[in-house]
Structure 1
Amino acid sequence: MDLNIKINDKNHLDIGGADACDIAEEFGTPTYVIDENRIRDNYNRFYNAFSKYYPDFRVYYACKANTNLAVMRILESEGCCIDAVSPGEVYTSKKLGFPGERILFTGNNVTTEELKFVAEQGAVLNLDSVSALKRLAEVVDPEGFKISFRVNPMVGAGHHDHCITGGVMSKFGIMDNEAVEVYQFAEDLGFTPVGMHSHIGSGILDPEPFKLAIESTIDIAGKVHTEAGIDFEFVDFGGGVGIPYTPEENIVDIDTFAKENIALFKSKLEEHDLGKPTMYLEPGRYLVGDASVLLTRVNSVKQSYRKFLGVDSGFHTLLRPAMYDSYHHIVLANKMDAPNTQEVDIAGNVCESGDLFARDRPMPDVEEGDLLAILNAGAYGFTMSSNYNSRPKASEVLVKDGECFLTRERETFEDLFNKQIIPDYLQ
């Protein structure tokens, strides 16, 4: 088990050397708190594990997990690249100093205008369909223009059906049996295809699904190489490496994960005479998931037909429990040594029955005013938050060696009016 839980001498939760209670007192709640050193440690552990066995290796951060500007700058300073899935993520990455050659854009159902914008930013385009290929040819000079394609490896895995991105039900990628034809068509248009990409899902803790994806993707690449004459500069197997969310789950042995998958990768490259293309992986959750917690204050203890702990955040702040039925470990941050004495439901402040962070969760005696910490909130936490129920969004705080820095101001009621216009006739 490794839920990245640390306790200080006050029996308070420690986040990056800072006291969670002090953070909540200074910045209010709900607040996302990010541990910079944990992000750096996660990145280097991941990069070193794979590059040790295959030096020509790159990490592309799946920034949809967390686009906090400070988080992205931290990863840029480590030499990380960016996996972007929208023009906005490309724009943000460029603003933060990522050069175009370190940004791989993998969109789906992309407009022609978006293709043109991404190309102008110098990002590498990883196309998802023949339609996107044809429309890209209308807005760029195809001659010598390097591109990649996302293929469906017909392998899917993940912690929830919504997170499985390969197989017959998936909306992503070109079909495996049309890959040769699509790559040939790209060359006929004048493009230079140099890469192949696949992605099977997220929240994966076992190397076996990745092995299936590697085997399937390299088999497709081998066929494209043989029949269409494509020489690959890189092969990208996407992301999906998970983190432990429950106390019963163990952290991924990333060295074993890397060793086993790299061994298969090398074997398949040799089998298909594909040379030594660069290997790309796109971790998101693994880099940032356990580096952030959501601090939320208990404002109501209610004994109804069930016992509810009501808090000052909801699924507008952290959507994953309501959307994916995801488990997030929750601790009593101001009384970390208190034993569990009861089972309670932890409910948010959104007017929806589904606004629950936990059902029947073992917890200590909790009083109104106590501080809860929802762990592993760094991936798909703030990025999926909203203003539902006209709730202002939370603040974000970065911790570096015990020192705290506000990286996103808490929204106010006035912010709810941004970009809205009332027609003159209704004034």
Structure 2
Amino acid sequence: MDLNLKINQKGNVEIGGADTISLAEEYGTPLYVIDEKRIRDNYNRVNNAFTKYYKNFKIFYAEKANTNLAVMRILEEEGSSIDAVSPGEVYTALETGFTPDRILFTGNNITNEELKYVYEQEVILNIDSISALKRLAKITSPNGLKLSFRVNPNVGAGHHDHCITGGPMSKFGIMEEEAADVYNLAKDLGFNPIGMHSHIGSGILNPEPFKLATESMMNIAGDVAANANIDFEFLDFGGGLGIPYTPEENLLDIDNFAKEIVGIYKSKLNEFGIGKPAMYIEPGRYIVGDAAYLLLRVNSVKQSYRKFIGVDAGFNTLLRPAMYDSYHHIVVANKANATPTEKVDIAGNVCESGDLFARDRILPKIEEGDLIAILNAGAYAFSMSSQYNSRPRTAEVLVNNGESELVRERETYKDLFNNQIIPERLKK
């Protein structure tokens, strides 16, 4: 496992050239620290790997992983496009400089009002169901509107059951056996279907499921091209590229992965005579996951039936361990070179028994006031945070070449009341 862990001469963990101890002292804790260079490097590593084997290729960043405006601007500068799964994400992408032709919207169980809003933004529509297609035809004027469909290639994979988005148990996409009929229906309604999309899950480190899904979707595309007479402009294979969280996991060999996936793609294009449509993928976690740390201050060391290290945030700040039983590597940022000597639980400050960042983690001797750094906190971390237990959401800092900038202010107690209204009759 490549922890991407940097330790400076003081023995402190640093990120983006900035000392985490200094950052915690300047901005307070809990604190998300985002490494700008790491995001750019990750994006370009994927882009370079795939364009090496297929030039007509685009990355659509899975925005749901991290919607921080600074992160969005970084990726816009790098030339990324956007995978948006809600009208709010479409709005965010537009506000941060992405043009409509660089935004692919894939909704599920979307309302008519949301469909209308997204349509009016002139972004690329990727339809998830026959219901959405028929409703879109009623609330808009198709007139040759280009769109795409999400298909379920009956292949699923992911690090947790909740992250598997393909296969017979998944709520997403249209079935393989109905695909050609759905494309024909779209044409009959006046639309111009020009793309196909699939997504099998997230946190994938083994390329085999992705290869199976690629073959499956290409077979569906071949059938649709033949039986619905579709001239595809793009084929989108979704995201799901994982990063190693545990010491036992290895980095995904992205160059070899790209070589194998593009090899299948080209072979199937030739087999079905589809032409040379653009190839899209939608990485999110791979680009931002290892580009951020969560810094927490130890405020309590409690020897109970177990030894608990209490910190100043809970699952309202980082939900993944409680929701997915996810492992995040943890280091004592001010004792990065110290030898691990004791087994402890890292416990949050939310009033829930499940509010734990780690169980039985072997770490150096921890004292109150120490700084804990939780690694790989760039994806599905702040974006899933909440104000549960009436705790304000934390701040975010962007670091680059040792310099730091506040990119999200820490909420205050007053912010907990935003948009709430007490009826006059209940006021004293």
TM-score by length of 1: 0.99
Q: Helix, strand or coil: the match of 1:33? A: strand
Structure 2 CA distance for aligned equivalents of residues 338 and 86 of structure 1: 45
Displacement of 1:250: 1.2
Q: Which amino acid aligns with 2:55?
A: P
Q: Helix, strand or coil: the match of 2:72? A: helix
Deviations 1:294-339 (A, max 9, x none): 0000000000000000000100000000000000000000111110
Deviations 1:372-408 (A, max 9, x none): 0000000000000000000000000000111000000
Tell me if 1:192 matches 2:192. Answer: yes
Partner of 1:120: 120
Q: Helix, strand or coil: the match of 2:165? A: coil
Identity %: 72
Q: Which amino acid aligns with 1:105?
A: F
Structure 1 CA distance for aligned equivalents of residues 330 and 372 of structure 2: 7
Tell me if 1:92 matches 2:92. Answer: yes
Structure 1 CA distance for aligned equivalents of residues 340 and 121 of structure 2: 53
Partner of 1:205: 205
Q: Which amino acid aligns with 2:303?
A: Q
Tell me if 1:256 matches 2:250. Answer: no
Partner of 2:385: 385
Structure 2 CA distance for aligned equivalents of residues 377 and 313 of structure 1: 14
Partner of 2:25: 25
Q: Which amino acid aligns with 1:229?
A: N
Partner of 1:39: 39
Displacement of 1:272: 1.1
Q: Which amino acid aligns with 1:220?
A: I
Q: Which amino acid aligns with 2:378?
A: G
Displacement of 1:247: 1.6
Q: Helix, strand or coil: the match of 1:151? A: strand
Displacement of 1:34: 0.1
Write the mapping of 1:44-193 to structure 2, written as runs, cut at 5 A: 44-193=44-193
Q: Helix, strand or coil: the match of 2:232? A: coil
Structure 2 CA distance for aligned equivalents of residues 160 and 61 of structure 1: 21
Alignment root-mean-square deviation, CA: 0.5
Write the mapping of 1:240-255 to structure 2, written as runs, cut at 5 A: 240-255=240-255
Q: Which amino acid aligns with 2:426?
A: L
Q: Which amino acid aligns with 2:202?
A: S
Structure 2 CA distance for aligned equivalents of residues 119 and 417 of structure 1: 33
Structure 2 CA distance for aligned equivalents of residues 35 and 120 of structure 1: 35
Displacement of 1:194: 0.3
Displacement of 1:425: 1.0
Q: Which amino acid aligns with 1:404?
A: S
Structure 1 CA distance for aligned equivalents of residues 224 and 309 of structure 2: 57
Tell me if 1:270 matches 2:270. Answer: yes
Displacement of 1:249: 1.2
Q: Helix, strand or coil: the match of 2:52? A: helix
Partner of 1:3: 3
Displacement of 1:32: 0.3
Structure 2 CA distance for aligned equivalents of residues 7 and 339 of structure 1: 14
Structure 2 CA distance for aligned equivalents of residues 94 and 138 of structure 1: 26
Deviations 1:278-308 (A, max 9, x none): 0000000000000000000000000000000
Structure 2 CA distance for aligned equivalents of residues 395 and 200 of structure 1: 33
Q: Which amino acid aligns with 2:407?
A: T
Deviations 1:232-266 (A, max 9, x none): 10000000000010122111110001001110111
Deviations 1:2-58 (A, max 9, x none): 111000110000110000000000000000000000000000000000010000000
Q: Which amino acid aligns with 1:176?
A: E
Structure 1 CA distance for aligned equivalents of residues 401 and 138 of structure 2: 51
Structure 2 CA distance for aligned equivalents of residues 55 and 308 of structure 1: 53
Structure 1 CA distance for aligned equivalents of residues 95 and 139 of structure 2: 23
Displacement of 1:139: 2.2
Q: Which amino acid aligns with 2:65?
A: A
Q: Which amino acid aligns with 1:231?
A: D
Structure 2 CA distance for aligned equivalents of residues 251 and 209 of structure 1: 16
Partner of 2:364: 364
Q: Aligned pairs, how many?
A: 427
Structure 2 CA distance for aligned equivalents of residues 228 and 3 of structure 1: 48
Partner of 2:374: 374
Partner of 1:234: 234
Q: Helix, strand or coil: the match of 1:406? A: strand
Structure 1 CA distance for aligned equivalents of residues 3 and 186 of structure 2: 46
Q: Which amino acid aligns with 2:41?
A: D
5+ residue gaps, structure 1: none
Q: Helix, strand or coil: the match of 1:331? A: strand
Displacement of 1:342: 0.6
Partner of 1:217: 217
Write the mapping of 1:290-301 to structure 2, written as runs, cut at 5 A: 290-301=290-301
